[in-house]
Structure 1
Amino acid sequence: MLPESRARSEQEAGRAVESDGFPEETPESQEVTRQLQESEQRYRSLFENNVDVVVTFGLEGKFLQMNRATEQLLGIPAKELVGTPFLQMIVPERRAHSEREFFRVLEGTPVQYQTAVYNRRREVIDLHVTVIPIHYEGEITGIHCIGKDITKQKQLERKLNQLAYFDPLTGLPNRNSLDTNLSRQVGERRKFALLALDLDRLKAVNETWGREAGDRLLKIIAHRLRDFLPSSADFFRNSGDDFIVTYYCDTDDECLGFARSLEARLRDPVVLGEIELSITSRIGISTFPDDGIDPDALLRKADTAMFAARRNGRNRVAFYRDVKSKDDARQFQLEIALRSAIANDELSLAFQPQIDLATGEVHGLEALLRWLHPQHGQVPPDQFIPVAEESGLIHEIGMWVIEAACRQAVEWNHAGLGNLPVSVNISIHQFYDDEFAGQLENVIRVSGMDPSRLVLEITESISSNSDVVVAQLHRFKAIGVRIAIDDFGTGYSSLRYLKDFPVDYLKIDRSFVDHLESNEKERRLVATITALAHNFGLQTIAEGTETAEQVAIMRELGADHAQGYHFSRPLAPDALVSWLAARA
């Protein structure tokens, strides 16, 4: 019998003791005894048979009792633990917090928190614990603790965090880490330089010796620069062969000297097997606060300077301030031309099919914006979309894309080509526009589009303000449209928004697909993404599938759908109709 129950039993029995010292067996005392025994048995069953950890501590924090689940989880028998302090089991970095929470319970406050302990093999076990005081006759006589093993959940979170914040190939912090770092540095209000660094030979290496050689080159460069950089610099892989370095400096001369040292370090030959390569680079520099106080603006301006350095030849360094006047003029001319493009119907849509990997049937289409300039020909989206966003034209252009996509989808459906879902990309500016949801609903109503056949593609960067995002997404879902997270794995990946956001699809970024044939780590990452998606009831779409082998691997790894040049490049509406007819 447990100490508390025994004390209550003796107290009740004592009430029936007569002057001769012997208890009188009455029906009432027998019923009390029976109830106490039944209560004792229920409590002991709950204690001993619980699948979770259940422990009783003394007021000094030492083990008094524990159930079998505790012994099994820790791999330590109760006889070894009884009388020892629980704090010695806690991992060092969690001990102070666990001790503070224990003292709160001693003051009478139940608490819940997460902690971590060592088992006998010194493996770390993550626990979610509920700790409550034991009260008897108005005093705290001990502590109960119930712990749930959350080790697998924490491992999954850590894996996703690694995926979200670090580049799987080089191990460097990725664009998401860069965004976090820049926000912090801007908040410090201290002068720093942002250097955009671009390698020159990666494409040639990939084409000549294969992507595996290109990957080795990237790893060598990443490790070389990471070991070379001072503590005042941070190093990130932005994408492909683009790297970003942030560096605290007081003068432009100091910054230029640092950039020159990076350039010189990169010129050292790289040995790939029996091949020796000389690497060339371009570095573009923007500085805070001289070139701006917004992280995106600093990145954009460093890129502008880097492209200017590229035009000037290899192994060149350029400051944004040295090229900004020409760039500003070009951007202004592009904005004027873009305004004319809307008025003169120079914009059009191309559609890229998405294929169901299980059936081989067309699952849907992604609508992609194209601009055919009357003098300059096709203008790449990565040139005019940033201009549209900076000038505010993105709202008008974005609604035009949705209207045109809905009209085209309804026209095809009436022509008997099927009611295929159509995806459109929406920018962060549209997403946070309070009027966007109403405009979207009106477009769907006027066009006659089935809202469930329209998929809005958002990027992971939108998820940075989760509370607002959830509310806005629910507004879209109330209209009946579906939601896809585009370029998944390159930005703010988080278990929280997979759990909270009402989305339907995850689009696996093409950077994970590129190296599937030769990179086992990439395969494991894709398998993790598909498993996560399916666990949350989402479907996956693999972007950039260009080979039959990539398609086969994606199917094997559990992806639901795929799009890419293996199936079809983006097609004009008439060409898409012919493509669909050829598949019929």
Structure 2
Amino acid sequence: MSADALIEGLPDLVVLIRRDGLVLECGGGHGVPGLRCRLDAAGKRIETLWPAPVAEFLKLLMRRSLALRTTAEARLEHDGIAYEARASARGPERALCIIRQASASSRDDSLEGSDERPRPQLDRRGFLRRCKESMAMAALRERPLAVAVIQLDGISDIAQIIATKVSEQIMSTAILRLPAKSDERDGKPWWYLGQLSESLLALVFESADREAIGECVAGLSASLREPIAIGGAEFHLTPYAGVAILGQDASTPKLLLDHARAAATEARRRGSSEVCFFTDTMRLESLARLDIAREMREAIAHRDIRLRYVGRHDLGTGRLTAWVGYLRWLHPLRGEIRPAEFLRVAETTGLAAQLSRAVLGCLKEDFASLAAAADPDVRVSFGALRHHVLHEDFAADIGRFLAEGALPPERLELRIAERALVARDPLDLHDLARLGARVVVDEVARGMGSLELLARAPLWGLQLDRAWVTGLRRETQSRKVCQAGIAVAQAFGLTPIASGVDDSGQREALLALGCRYGSGDLFRDAAPDITAPARAAVGV
């Protein structure tokens, strides 16, 4: 089923509005009394479609979102009906508004009182206020309290690849399907729910019993893992849960939430479905990340984070076809810091795009040595970071780099992660392709993809994710994924590439599947020394 059909069937009203109040797109609204979308809404001004108070309210919310460049939320009551609305900026001039009928909470904000379970809280500010009040009450009455954070992997990809409106409905469905209140006769703790962001849920427990909390959160996570059917399509989410306990792990609401989030991040890093409780080790790691963020700013300024290069080869002949650059940070005191460690910090601190631009600048200095170590047709492959790719100036940055004569356009290859490519409009990539630069989709089959995008984007190749290539000979699933990825590349006239070719058995298997180019430990030039011989011998 198409994304448009999914959106049209949503109960929430979804409107894409321009800054001046012109409706660009509209859909859904079956569950919003008095505000259902009209078929001819696109191209009309918002005040001509809905009552003046509602139109003015949406325009104010939209402008607040554009001014702050973030998501804005608010409530409105009109003609006796309460509405909840959320506006998310989509560039400098447009915002996506989601409107739904507000659901009244059936429980007081305290942890005591009625036995009725509250409806899921979608108002972040309201939840945070309630959390503070619960903590104050727990401290005053010397009662236990804990916070669990559940990170839902998959929501962001759905928002980027299909539509934010679909991910909103999936999130709402996921929240509404959570189990009813705990049966206190079984000794299970009471909890209430809040939504911290697009993909983060939080629960406040009136308990510090780790076993009981872990059992409860595990049950909720199991419910969230169940497939969600929307408009005939089926979606799967992967929850990762972390818990922090008041008094033991933190003494303020912000720290408690931060530590619960850190525990959830640790669960995600481990790939574990088990509930992860915050520990002092995580506290030290958190402080270390703060140090890394500070030092990273200095490293970017002094251009200390650079690229190490490995060769990509013709798997049949061993001929070098490209120098592939990967990030490398040699810290003067810490030694070499793994990209997996500092890239997470760069993304969470907003340094990723800045780092990507700085490393791109290093290519100009490296190119002379790279060119001397290879034949004239050997390209240099640069992997732009996701946040840089999604930035509106990405194509302009690459264009300026080439215009400055840093290296000939026909010698540049841009590697863009599949997840980043599907989240941007490929239109401006055509300008770079016309200059001679090649675009390769990296990390293929790691996340969600789009065949329609592969047909439209000016691509040269698809690079299979290393995780699938390394398991090619011993895992049936890995072989199937590699075979499918290579077949997709060939169907679209693209060049299949493999990363992680570490032995001759993998090389032979890839050649048999139709993949002719790859990089990995099989070749003796897989080292930071870019002056290695241009024609590496193939290992046995």
Higher helix share: 1
CA distance in 2 between partners of 1:344 and 1:431 (Å): 23
Q: Of residues 394, 408, 433 in structure 2, which corresponds to 1:436?
A: 394
Counterpart residue identity of residue 517, structure 1 = R
Q: Of residues 369, 385, 390 in structure 1, which corresponds to 2:348?
A: 390
Q: 1:387 to 1:351 in 2, by over 3 A?
A: same
Residue 285 of structure 1 aligns with which residue? 242
Q: Is the 1:349–1:368 Cα contact (8 Å) retained in structure 2?
A: yes
SS at match of 1:409: helix
| Residues 1:557 and 2:516 aligned together | no
Residue 503 of structure 2 aligns with which residue? 547
Residue 121 of structure 1 aligns with which residue? none
Q: 1:491 to 1:550 in 2, by over 3 A?
A: same
After superposition, what is the alpha-carbon deviation per residue over 1:287-334, rounded to whole angstroms, capped at 9, x for unaligned? 9xx889x9xx99875123677999xxxx984148x8776554332211
Residue 257 of structure 1 aligns with which residue? 212
Q: Over aligned residues, Cα RMSD in angstroms? A: 4.4
Q: Is the 1:306–1:318 Cα contact (8 Å) retained in structure 2?
A: no
CA distance in 2 between partners of 1:523 and 1:536 (Å): 20
Counterpart residue identity of residue 358, structure 2 = W
Aligned counterparts, 1:465-476, within 5 A: 465=423, 468-476=424-432
Q: Of residues 355, 358, 364 in structure 2, which corresponds to 1:400?
A: 358
Moved more, 562-571 or 420-429: 562-571
Q: Of residues 474, 478, 482 in structure 2, which corresponds to 1:526?
A: 482
| Residues 1:340 and 2:298 aligned together | yes
Counterpart residue identity of residue 214, structure 2 = A
After superposition, what is the alpha-carbon deviation per residue over 1:340-373, rounded to whole angstroms, capped at 9, x for unaligned? 2233443232111111123321111210111111
Q: Is the 2:427–2:457 Cα contact (8 Å) retained in structure 1?
A: no
Report how many residues are paired: 332
CA distance in 2 between partners of 1:396 and 1:329 (Å): 22
Counterpart residue identity of residue 380, structure 2 = V
| Residues 1:318 and 2:277 aligned together | yes
SS at match of 1:577: coil
Q: 1:251 to 1:421 in 2, by over 3 A?
A: same
Q: Is the 1:192–1:249 Cα contact (8 Å) retained in structure 2?
A: no
CA distance in 2 between partners of 1:494 and 1:364 (Å): 26
Q: Is the 2:411–2:437 Cα contact (8 Å) retained in structure 1?
A: yes
CA distance in 1 between partners of 2:322 and 2:527 (Å): 13
Aligned counterparts, 1:287-306, within 5 A: 302-304=264-266
- Give the superposition deviation at 1:562: 1.0
SS at match of 2:358: helix
After superposition, what is the alpha-carbon deviation per residue over 1:412-435, rounded to whole angstroms, capped at 9, x for unaligned? 325765341111111222112222
- Give the superposition deviation at 1:487: 1.0
CA distance in 1 between partners of 2:260 and 2:412 (Å): 35
- Give the superposition deviation at 1:577: 2.0
Aligned counterparts, 1:456-535, within 5 A: 456-465=414-423, 468-535=424-491
Unaligned runs of at least 5 residues, structure 2:
1-151, 160-166, 179-198, 220-239, 245-252
CA distance in 2 between partners of 1:478 and 1:384 (Å): 34
Percent of pairs identical after alignment? 22
Unaligned runs of at least 5 residues, structure 1:
1-173, 194-244, 265-282
After superposition, what is the alpha-carbon deviation per residue over 1:174-194, rounded to whole angstroms, capped at 9, x for unaligned? 96578549865655695999x
Counterpart residue identity of residue 337, structure 1 = E
After superposition, what is the alpha-carbon deviation per residue over 1:413-466, rounded to whole angstroms, capped at 9, x for unaligned? 25765341111111222112222322222222324412122111111222444x
Q: 1:190 to 1:540 in 2, by over 3 A?
A: same
CA distance in 1 between partners of 2:461 and 2:371 (Å): 23
CA distance in 2 between partners of 1:571 and 1:341 (Å): 22
| Bigger Rg, which one | 1
Q: Is the 2:461–2:496 Cα contact (8 Å) retained in structure 1?
A: yes
| Residues 1:577 and 2:531 aligned together | yes
Q: Of residues 330, 333, 348 in structure 1, which corresponds to 2:288?
A: 330
Counterpart residue identity of residue 304, structure 1 = E
Residue 125 of structure 1 aligns with which residue? none
- Give the superposition deviation at 1:261: 8.2
Q: 1:433 to 1:179 in 2, by over 3 A?
A: closer
Q: Is the 2:266–2:276 Cα contact (8 Å) retained in structure 1?
A: no
- Give the superposition deviation at 1:481: 1.6
- Give the superposition deviation at 1:556: 0.4
Moved more, 345-354 or 517-526: 517-526
Q: 1:332 to 1:262 in 2, by over 3 A?
A: closer
After superposition, what is the alpha-carbon deviation per residue over 1:244-287, rounded to whole angstroms, capped at 9, x for unaligned? x99996637599636358999xxxxxxxxxxxxxxxxxx85169
Q: Is the 1:309–1:317 Cα contact (8 Å) retained in structure 2?
A: no
Q: 1:548 to 1:337 in 2, by over 3 A?
A: same
CA distance in 1 between partners of 2:463 and 2:439 (Å): 11
Residue 446 of structure 1 aligns with which residue? 404
- Give the superposition deviation at 1:580: 2.7
SS at match of 2:440: strand
Q: Is the 2:373–2:531 Cα contact (8 Å) retained in structure 1?
A: no
Residue 567 of structure 1 aligns with which residue? 523
Aligned counterparts, 1:64-213, within 5 A: 176=154, 179-180=157-158, 186-187=171-172, 190=175
Q: Is the 1:285–1:306 Cα contact (8 Å) retained in structure 2?
A: no
TM-score under structure 2 normalisation?
A: 0.52
TM-score under structure 1 normalisation?
A: 0.49
